[in-house]
Amino acid sequence: MTKKSKSQDGTKASDHPQITIFSGWCKSCGICVAFCPKEVLAMDENRKVFAKSPEKCIACHMCELRCPDFAINVKEVEKQSTLAEDKSDE
Amino acid sequence: MTKKSKSQDGTKASDHPQITIFSGWCKSCGICVAFCPKEVLAMDENRKVFAKSPEKCIACHMCELRCPDFAINVKEVEKQSTLAEDKSDE
Amino acid sequence: MISNSELVNKYFRHNKKFPHIWCPGCGIGIILGNMLRAIDALDMNKNEIAFVSGIGCTGRAPVYVDFNTLHTTHGRALPFATGLKLARPELKVLVATGDGDATAIGGNHLIHACRRNIDITTIIFNNYIYGMTGGQYSPTTPHSDKASTCKLGNIERPFNISQLVEAAGATFVGRTTSYHTLQLQSIIKKAIMHKGFSVVEVITHCPTTYGRINKKGTAVDMLKWQKEVAVDKSRADKMDPKELEGKIITGILMEKQLPEFCEQYDTIIEKAQSMKNNQQGKSK
Amino acid sequence: MISNSELVNKYFRHNKKFPHIWCPGCGIGIILGNMLRAIDALDMNKNEIAFVSGIGCTGRAPVYVDFNTLHTTHGRALPFATGLKLARPELKVLVATGDGDATAIGGNHLIHACRRNIDITTIIFNNYIYGMTGGQYSPTTPHSDKASTCKLGNIERPFNISQLVEAAGATFVGRTTSYHTLQLQSIIKKAIMHKGFSVVEVITHCPTTYGRINKKGTAVDMLKWQKEVAVDKSRADKMDPKELEGKIITGILMEKQLPEFCEQYDTIIEKAQSMKNNQQGKSK
Amino acid sequence: MSQTRTEIRLAGSGGQGLITAGIILAEAAILDNKNVVQSQSYGPEARGGASRAEIIIAEGSIFFPKATWVDIFLAMSQKACDQYSFDIKAEGTFIVDTTYVDQIPTSSAFAIPISSATREKFGKELFSNIVALGVICEICGVVSARALRAAVSNRVPDGTEKINLEAFAFGQKLAKEAIKNRTEVETESIEADT
Amino acid sequence: MSQTRTEIRLAGSGGQGLITAGIILAEAAILDNKNVVQSQSYGPEARGGASRAEIIIAEGSIFFPKATWVDIFLAMSQKACDQYSFDIKAEGTFIVDTTYVDQIPTSSAFAIPISSATREKFGKELFSNIVALGVICEICGVVSARALRAAVSNRVPDGTEKINLEAFAFGQKLAKEAIKNRTEVETESIEADT
Amino acid sequence: MNKKSSYQLIQGNEAAAEGALAAGVSFFAGYPITPSTEIAEILSDRLPANGGKFIQMEDEIGSIAAIIGASIGGRKVLTATSGPGFSLMQENLGFACLAEVPLVIVNVMRGGPSTGMPTSPSQGDVMQARWGTHGDHPIIVLSPGSVEEAFHYTVKAVNFAEKYRNPVIVLMDEIIGHMRARVSLPPTSMIERVNRVHPNMPPEWYLPYERSATGVAPMASFGDGYRHHVTGLVHDAKGFPTADPNEARNNIRGLFTKIERGFRELCLVDYEFMDDAEHAIIAYGGMVLSARSALEQLRKSGRKVGLIKLGTLWPFPRFALEQYLPQLKTILVPELNMGQIYREVLRVNAGKAVVEKLNRVNGTIITPNEIVKTVKGLIR
Amino acid sequence: MNKKSSYQLIQGNEAAAEGALAAGVSFFAGYPITPSTEIAEILSDRLPANGGKFIQMEDEIGSIAAIIGASIGGRKVLTATSGPGFSLMQENLGFACLAEVPLVIVNVMRGGPSTGMPTSPSQGDVMQARWGTHGDHPIIVLSPGSVEEAFHYTVKAVNFAEKYRNPVIVLMDEIIGHMRARVSLPPTSMIERVNRVHPNMPPEWYLPYERSATGVAPMASFGDGYRHHVTGLVHDAKGFPTADPNEARNNIRGLFTKIERGFRELCLVDYEFMDDAEHAIIAYGGMVLSARSALEQLRKSGRKVGLIKLGTLWPFPRFALEQYLPQLKTILVPELNMGQIYREVLRVNAGKAVVEKLNRVNGTIITPNEIVKTVKGLIR
Ligand SMILES: Cc1ncc(C[n+]2csc(CCOP(=O)(O)OP(=O)(O)O)c2C)c(N)n1
Ligand SMILES: Cc1ncc(C[n+]2csc(CCOP(=O)(O)OP(=O)(O)O)c2C)c(N)n1
Ligand code: SF4
Ligand code: SF4
Ligand code: SF4
Ligand code: SF4
Ligand code: SF4
Ligand code: SF4
Ligand SMILES: [Mg+2]
Ligand SMILES: [Mg+2]
């Protein structure tokens, strides 16, 4: 279990959502990566997902909703979610 | 097997169709009687069908077509059948 | 048209006992007779007709007639017929099946035969009841009607068979009644000539079970009812829905051309054989 | 909305081994997850949910989730569910079934459950193939597509599931894809709330069998295809048929209110009991 | 077989109500405090074709439930008469409804026009089976008239008890006449035989 | 069991092509004029989970078709390694693909990064199973390289023969290096043990 | 049902339906088939009047599926059918065996195979009742030998099903099913009703397939708070699919263990004139009637013949025969089939007595006289 | 199939498919199910290439119905399935028995009951193959003990089906079905093909169920001018339904007569080391492989043990055992079930030798060592 999106600098640290990937469950299908509207996610050379640009995450939850293996988790730090705004689902 | 419609007088004898009822097969359902457009057929007190007024028969064959037991037979003496004219089937 | 005597002589099995087993006034005999007249009008070869049925009063029809006849298990006439047809596509395959046989236990085979569009003509003798077993409700028994297993009234809604088979993919759907014998003949004729899977639903009467428990009167009364509720499609198309309530639309309800299953299979054989020949050519 | 971690904690069985058995990228997990989100949104009591399935990759869904779960035989989820629901009408009964399970071997039970309008929500995971047994064609495999038992192309035409269940009498029909997860949630929610038999067809992908043999690319590619072909009903209603060719209309396709089976049965019980009391009153 | 065993067979065509008649007969036997079993022929053959009900009455236990050697036989159709009369005891009671049976295989039969008489009297043949019960009661006496009347009342549809009891009585009357006639006929035939 | 019996088990995860590798190995044995049977694990477990192919090669007849005491074991995933290594002979040959296996239960194993080396060399892991065959061929010699090459050509899709033979040769090369390294490692470990 | 006298005339099928109600059956799903249809017809009337439920399914596969579902929902359930329908039920019958779901199937046998002779008596399904579904499993099969027993055995069947969490077949023949007899049924208050054992631990601790000392695991109904998994796959004590050989073994062997533990209770056997018998007739179902008549005659003529009446066919009550083997010279097994229980008798007999069969497969029944003749011939 | 060498590596399921083609099967209808699916997949490819036909039906009921229909149309037909599908086929299997329609079902057994253990070996359907459908009927069941036999027995099955106008079951286990072995298949020209006897009299004289001296009636195909009636009702020689006891008797007994006449031919049995054997192992299917290995060890250690390998399970080859009973002290029957053929052995043994069973129902197979140990224990 790896948490990758903890930012290092103190100021805006908790501003962007926390993305967690349970690598033991992830089957490296690439769906989350492909459909993230903000290109937050990427696959490392061992085909494991990681949050390449966590700061771009808008907490649309599309990666969570489409992960077939319940292996990714996005937690907003601020309460608002942008779910309703996302149009990629229509 | 009884043939009932042979007319007795010589002149118009063969003018009207020949109606034959195979009483061994007839189950006395009354369908032929009920739907004969010319009221040619009737049921005797033993519930057996007979041609009461064979001379009225127009050889529409409705009795044949609707007899569930293949127990009635109508044979035109003249070749023309009035089948096409009958409207009771529509 | 062929007379009853000729019909009997030409198509009935001389070594079978008559009268047949059906009750007085039962519509099954009427439908059978008019099916035979349709066949006669088409001048078909008896050796090339296979007549297949399931179990039920309706299922007893084939035994009487002098075709290749196959009386299968309850609900399974269509898969038997499918195998037979695919094995010998030159046969004309007709299926006689009751409402229970076709849409209760046999419902799945019915929709799949429709979907495959295999060249079989299926006549559904819809008497709204399981006749043979003494009058239990069937998937076509009208709502609120009675039967021996729903003496307080049927709470299930009936299938609209024609709609169902159309949605399942049948390419010819006709409906008529046992009263409308000429229309019956004409629809069956067209259904047989249709290339593909054709369904003819015939509304008929079982005076012994459905008629008795629902106080529908005699066979004659039930035929009169058929006469009254039937509306020919050509007329119905011009009527508004209100008027059509409680009516049964008859005629050819749907007809279209789509590739037939056995013919399509022939293309597979061709493909497979040419691939095989190619491979043998290369002698890899 | 509930997060994945919360979902897993709240609804998954802690004593079941994860990751689950489905292949990488398989759509079944996506549908299962969004079904759970819909259930969560409706705030249902886990004790009152019965989740029933047949056999197939889809059929493996119930074992993972912490409801009353019943993994039946191939094609038979619906009659098991029917008995369970009628026996305990207070249960919310959900059925997960594959295209083969629901429309091949289980086709008859499907149309009869529709006809009865029993209050069960059926989710059909339509991946166009028999996934579990390694990729044979199913009744929904598109014409000309390949499968392990039709390597030269499928000659059968697929069922249009939504049309079929509507003709059979379903009172709620929805369709969406595993790509459209929000729509999926919303349709499942409405289906569960609908009183009567509801069918939700979810177009999904089996990259391992159907995808591979038909060269449809990865799970990602197949999801992209779903995105492209789907047209929401509201939009489709305004498009002309030409434009809609090759498209899949999604949304709630049909919804109507008709008396529900279990409720109707209660009226039978009332009738029967009042008759019995009357008789005992008369003490005949 | 117990000595007291009486085997009764009612045969006719489907729809004549002979199964019901058989059940009533059996229920009457119970009211008479006798042991009884009843069975019948089933199946599509019974539809239109010949139909048959068998009743076995005994004081003690009845093991084998089918007739093996029939004591009392009623035939209400020719077909049934032909088909089911092969195992009637020589000294058994043979009753035929002459409405439907022309050819009677024995000269010792009670020949009674049950159906036509019923039709004449009640306007329809519906009650012929109950009339037949009256006939059997009177001729054979294997169950009491009291019990039979009670059994008839119990079994028939509510509101039709009275007319059915009339039918029963009418049957008894027909039987009495037949017994009278038969005695005469028999005398005649004996004379002719000599 | 016949003395000449050699039992081989290839284990990994579904999709790695080990069943195909097993079949090729068995077909090669036939070309070498040996007797052979092959079997595998089936089922949804094989989907994603651990998968296994077994090949038994002998000079004479083979009765029992399953491995009972494995001579040659190849593990290409950790799960498979854990699950299927319990019945390897002590003196057996143990080969692991270090790309996917971290924890090796024996120190005498040939540890070769089969998949990652394949990926590096050919751009994808697709040929790992054929590379693995090359490895086995070189290390165990139970079937001839000639036969294996022929079997590979026969079984792979038309047009891919050449690249697959390259993969096979690459496997042989990897094995040679491993044999060399292992000898060194072993020497080391013996020293450390003292 | 006529309630006026303590004696009534009822049919075997009717007695089975009354037995079901008396035993507390509150759910029936079925599909009509001769000669069992009366059971469905009666229950379609009487169940709702008693708050129970009746549903006519689209076929027999759906029927058994529905009663399994209802049983899992906590009801006592029953269906009725005949050969063709019973054949169709086999797959799901296996499900109920493996998932240990209580249910009762009344199979009123008719002439087979296939559509066969739908209205004629037969005992052709005895082996099918034991072996009709694939895979190893035990089953309980009772065969009533009178109308009265049709009632009592149906009650017992329901009770056995509940107690053992196992399907029970009431294998009735058309003779019993369709005959009417004078019978006095006990009032419902006199009927022993057995209910399945429900779990009594907190839900988190419940293991749906952990057997108690009786060999049977407690069974929770869906909706009672004991959420669990039911599957037709081989499973562990939690109910989850397993491929572990030990768990698999426990699953399958456990099915047998519970029946073995109850063996004596499950075996309904009656003995008539067996004390001094040197010759035995072994009969069940309608053949008991012929055998009893024959016995009466044979004893009258001084033959030392007795009757072993099998009420339970499966598990086969081997002891019923074994205990008499030392005294028996000959055994006759009259059956309306080609000799099905005969095979079991042969197996248990193990070469000791002379075993003969008397068979009939033509739609008629074996008469007492035929049995008398055969026994006399055997004794010589 | 690789045609380059006379030896090839093929799978048991593939061998069965090749056997079907070699025997002239030209019609297959089926529904996929593990572990038999390969047979359908191979034939879906190879049949059309040979002018034959393959159809995937909506379920197993439809599958057997379709092959019956095709067989009546004159084709040699086959289907393949496993336990759950085989259970569903039972009703129509009975139809084929009664209507005497040649067909072959390959049942590749898996762990049961119900969904059971879909990919694990089992021999749980042996009794079901004999008794799964309702009513009395005989059946022919062959059990290949190697990949090569999967080919040859399938050929034999087709030939028996045609010759006896009877369904034949090839009861294969997953061990044989899924293993690959080095096999040399004979060229098609070397395969004996038996065809059903067609009528050779004028059509008006044809009676479809009038048995010839062999006990089998000639069979006309639909479309050949011999119009006749085929039904699942008990029928007379014309094929028409009958309720006449004599005709009914002739119908049912006739089914048995033809199989009895062919009994010796139908019984495929091999004997290994039986000449001087005092102890026998009786095995079939995949268990033959374990038994042979065990035998090798036992003989090496001087034990007088032999193997009776049953290729035919039904009709049960009783003589195979009977002829050795005088010399046998013990018999061991290892089976991947709870002891099904064991029951038959007990029956035939009739108390003579000591009969022991060795069973396994956990999804794994019995190893040679276990057999060795058990036999040694038995011999003491
Ligand atoms: C498997 C099976 N189940 C049930 C039956 C009993 N059965 C015979 S016919 C029939 C229904 C007949 O109804 P339908 O098909 O409408 O035909 P009808 O008699 O009304 O013409 C039933 C349930 C059977 N023969 N086989
Ligand atoms: C009676 C029976 N027949 C066949 C099978 C084999 N079988 C298991 S799943 C399946 C089809 C699965 O396809 P689908 O329902 O579409 O589910 P998917 O795996 O695609 O989710 C089949 C044929 C079975 N288990 N039982
Ligand atoms: S929540 Fe949305 S933006 Fe953030 S990683 Fe997931 S898909 Fe990308
Ligand atoms: S979608 Fe899920 S399983 Fe697929 S790569 Fe992303 S985290 Fe892994
Ligand atoms: S042919 Fe027409 S007119 Fe003549 S009797 Fe028949 S129905 Fe009447
Ligand atoms: S329709 Fe036929 S069966 Fe009916 S009364 Fe007329 S002739 Fe007789
Ligand atoms: S029961 Fe009904 S359907 Fe059957 S023959 Fe009689 S009237 Fe016709
Ligand atoms: S085989 Fe297909 S449907 Fe089954 S788990 Fe794999 S991807 Fe999903
Ligand atoms: Mg009907
Ligand atoms: Mg699918």
Asked whether the beta carbons of residue B62 and residue C181 sit closer than 8 angstroms, the reply is yes
Q: Residue G272: which H helix or E strand, with range? A: strand G269-272
Asked whether the beta carbons of residue D261 and residue C156 sit closer than 8 angstroms, the reply is yes
Asked whether the beta carbons of residue G293 and residue E36 sit closer than 8 angstroms, the reply is no
Residue whose CA is at the smallest distance from ligand 8 atom 2: D206
SS (H, E, C) G149-207: HHHHHHHHHHHHHHHHCCEEEEEEEHHHHHCEEEECCCCHHHCCCCCCCCCCCCHHHCC
User: How far apart, in whole angstroms, are the C-alpha atoms of residue E133 and residue E76?
Assistant: 12
Nearest CA-CA distance, residue H340 and chain D, Å: 25
Domain parsing of chain D, residue ranges: 4-259
* Residue numbers of G between 312 and 371 with CB closer than 8 Å to H: 337-338, 340, 343, 346-347, 349-352, 361-364
- Ligand 1 atom nearest to C126, measured from its CA: 16
Query: G45 in helix, strand or coil?
Result: helix
Q: Closest Cα to residue B3, out of B19, B17, B25?
A: B19
Enumerate residue ranges in chain H where pLDDT < 70. 1-5
Nearest residue of chain E to residue C212 (CA atoms): E15
Beta-carbon neighbour count of residue E191 at 10 Å? 8
User: How far apart, in whole angstroms, are the C-alpha atoms of residue H364 and residue H218?
Assistant: 45
Residue G54 has pLDDT above 60, yes or no: yes
Tokens 């426990």, located at residue: G250
In this predicted model, what pLDDT tens digit does every residue of D235-255 receive, in sequence order? 999 999 999 999 999 999 999
Contact present, E75 and E81 (Cβ < 8 Å): yes
Span from the CA of D82 to the centroid of ligand 2 (angstroms): 20
pLDDT level of residue B10 (50, 70, 90 thresholds): very low
Our mutation pick for probing the ligand 8 site, out of D20, D26, D138, counting the most ligand atoms within 8 A of Cβ, is D26
Mean pLDDT value of segment F26-46: 86
Residue G356 has pLDDT above 80, yes or no: yes
Mean pLDDT value of segment D125-130: 98
- Give the pLDDT confidence score for residue A90 in this predicted structure: 43
Kindly state whether D71 is in contact with chain G, defined as any CB-CB distance less than 8 angstroms: yes
Task: Name the more confident of F48 and H326.
Answer: H326
Residue A80 has pLDDT above 70, yes or no: no
pLDDT level of residue D1 (50, 70, 90 thresholds): confident
- Give the pLDDT confidence score for residue H380 in this predicted structure: 82
Nearest CA-CA distance, residue G203 and chain D, Å: 11
In this predicted model, what pLDDT tens digit does every residue of D61-96 receive, in sequence order? 999 999 999 999 999 999 999 999 999 999 999 999
- Give the pLDDT confidence score for residue C210 in this predicted structure: 98
Residue E192 has pLDDT above 70, yes or no: no
Residue D34 has pLDDT above 90, yes or no: yes
In this predicted model, what pLDDT tens digit does every residue of D159-212 receive, in sequence order? 999 999 999 999 999 999 999 999 999 999 999 999 999 999 999 999 999 999
pLDDT level of residue D282 (50, 70, 90 thresholds): low
Local confidence pLDDT in tens for the 284 residues of chain C: 899 999 999 999 987 788 999 999 999 999 999 999 999 999 999 999 999 999 999 999 999 999 999 999 999 999 999 999 999 999 999 999 999 999 999 999 999 999 999 999 999 999 999 999 999 999 999 999 999 999 999 999 999 999 999 999 999 999 999 999 999 999 999 999 999 999 999 999 999 999 999 999 999 999 999 999 999 999 999 999 999 999 999 999 999 999 999 999 999 999 999 998 888 765 54
* Beta bridge mates, H196: none
- Give the pLDDT confidence score for residue B7 in this predicted structure: 40
Token pair for residue H144?
Answer: 């290949």
In this predicted model, what pLDDT tens digit does every residue of B65-84 receive, in sequence order? 999 999 999 998 755 445 54
Span from the CA of B62 to the centroid of ligand 7 (angstroms): 22
Token pair for residue H23?
Answer: 């025997």
User: How far apart, in whole angstroms, are the C-alpha atoms of residue E153 and residue E160?
Assistant: 8
Chains that touch F (3 or more CB pairs under 8 A): D, H
User: How far apart, in whole angstroms, are the C-alpha atoms of residue H157 and residue H25?
Assistant: 11
Q: In percent, how much of chain D has pLDDT > 70?
A: 99
Nearest CA-CA distance, residue H371 and chain C, Å: 45
- Give the pLDDT confidence score for residue F47 in this predicted structure: 61
Backbone region of residue C269 per phi and psi (left: phi > 0; alpha: psi in -120 to 50; beta: other values): alpha
In this predicted model, what pLDDT tens digit does every residue of E58-114 receive, in sequence order? 999 999 999 999 999 999 999 899 989 989 999 999 999 999 999 998 888 999 999
- Give the pLDDT confidence score for residue F2 in this predicted structure: 45
Asked whether the beta carbons of residue D79 and residue G225 sit closer than 8 angstroms, the reply is no
* CATH superfamily of this structure's domain D4-259: Thiamin diphosphate (ThDP)-binding fold, Pyr/PP domains (3.40.50.970)
Mean pLDDT value of segment E19-46: 88
Kindly state whether F116 is in contact with chain H, defined as any CB-CB distance less than 8 angstroms: no
Chain G residues with beta carbon closer than 8 angstroms to that of C134: 32, 37
Torsion, Cα D80 D82 D84 D85, to 10 degrees, reads 160
Q: In percent, how much of chain F has pLDDT > 90?
A: 75
For all residues of chain F together, what is the average pLDDT? 89
Residue D104 has pLDDT above 70, yes or no: yes
Mean pLDDT value of segment G110-115: 97
Our mutation pick for probing the ligand 4 site, out of A2, A3, A31, A52, counting the most ligand atoms within 8 A of Cβ, is A31
Where helices occur in H26-171 by DSSP H, the ranges are 37-49, 60-72, 83-88, 90-99, 126-131, 147-164
DSSP state of E140: H
Q: Closest Cα to residue G16, out of G189, G185, G141?
A: G185
* Beta bridge mates, D52: D70, D95
Chain B residues with beta carbon closer than 8 angstroms to that of C223: 31, 34-35, 66
In this predicted model, what pLDDT tens digit does every residue of H221-277 receive, in sequence order? 999 999 999 999 999 999 999 999 999 999 999 999 999 999 999 999 999 999 999
Which ligand is the nearest neighbour of the Cα of A72? 4
Q: Closest Cα to residue H179, out of F155, F137, F22, F28?
A: F22
Residues in chain A: 90
Q: Do the first three CATH levels of H7-190 and H272-379 match, i.e. the same topology?
A: yes
- Give the pLDDT confidence score for residue F186 in this predicted structure: 55
Span from the CA of C218 to the centroid of ligand 7 (angstroms): 12
Our mutation pick for probing the ligand 6 site, out of B33, B65, B67, counting the most ligand atoms within 8 A of Cβ, is B67
In this predicted model, what pLDDT tens digit does every residue of G118-148 receive, in sequence order? 999 999 999 999 999 999 999 999 999 999 9
A37-74 b/e (C-beta count within 10 Å ≥ 16 → b): beebbebeeeeebbbbebeebbbbbbbbbbbbbbbbbb
A57 lines ligand 3 (CB under 6 A): yes
Helix-then-strand count for chain G, H and E: 13, 15
Which of G59, G82, G87, G110 should be substituted to probe chain C, the one whose Cβ sees the most C Cβ atoms within 10 Å?
Answer: G59
Distances (CA, A) of E118 to B13, E137, E168: 41, 17, 10
Which ligand is the nearest neighbour of the Cα of H62? 2
Query: Positive or negative, the Cα torsion across F67, F70, F74, F77?
Result: positive
Asked whether the beta carbons of residue G119 and residue E31 sit closer than 8 angstroms, the reply is no
Q: How far apart are the first and last CA of chain H?
A: 49
Asked whether the beta carbons of residue G246 and residue H362 sit closer than 8 angstroms, the reply is yes
For all residues of chain G together, what is the average pLDDT? 97
Residue whose CA is at the smallest distance from ligand 6 atom 2: B67
Output the ligand 2 site: residues, CB below 6 A: D 55-58, 74, 98-101, 125, 127, 129-133, 138, 206; H 31-33, 60, 84-85, 88, 115
Mean pLDDT value of segment F126-144: 95
Distances (CA, A) of H235 to C156, G112, H254: 38, 12, 11
Which residues fall within 8 angstroms of residue G120, CB to CB, at 6 or more apart?
Answer: E43, G110, G111, G174, G363, G364, H243, H248
Task: Tell me which CATH code domain G272-379 carries.
Answer: 3.40.50.920
- Give the pLDDT confidence score for residue A82 in this predicted structure: 52
User: How far apart, in whole angstroms, are the C-alpha atoms of residue C28 and residue C206?
Assistant: 9
- Give the pLDDT confidence score for residue G334 in this predicted structure: 98
Mean pLDDT value of segment D25-44: 98
- Give the pLDDT confidence score for residue D15 in this predicted structure: 79
Domain parsing of chain G, residue ranges: 7-190, 203-264, 272-379
DSSP state of D58: G
Kindly state whether F40 is in contact with chain H, defined as any CB-CB distance less than 8 angstroms: yes
Please indicate, yes or no, whether the overall pTM of this predicted structure exceeds 0.80.
yes
Backbone region of residue G15 per phi and psi (left: phi > 0; alpha: psi in -120 to 50; beta: other values): alpha
* Residue numbers of G between 158 and 217 with CB closer than 8 Å to H: none
Residue G380 has pLDDT above 50, yes or no: yes
Token pair for residue D19?
Answer: 């990751």
Asked whether the beta carbons of residue D68 and residue G227 sit closer than 8 angstroms, the reply is yes
Task: Tell me which CATH code domain G7-190 carries.
Answer: 3.40.50.970
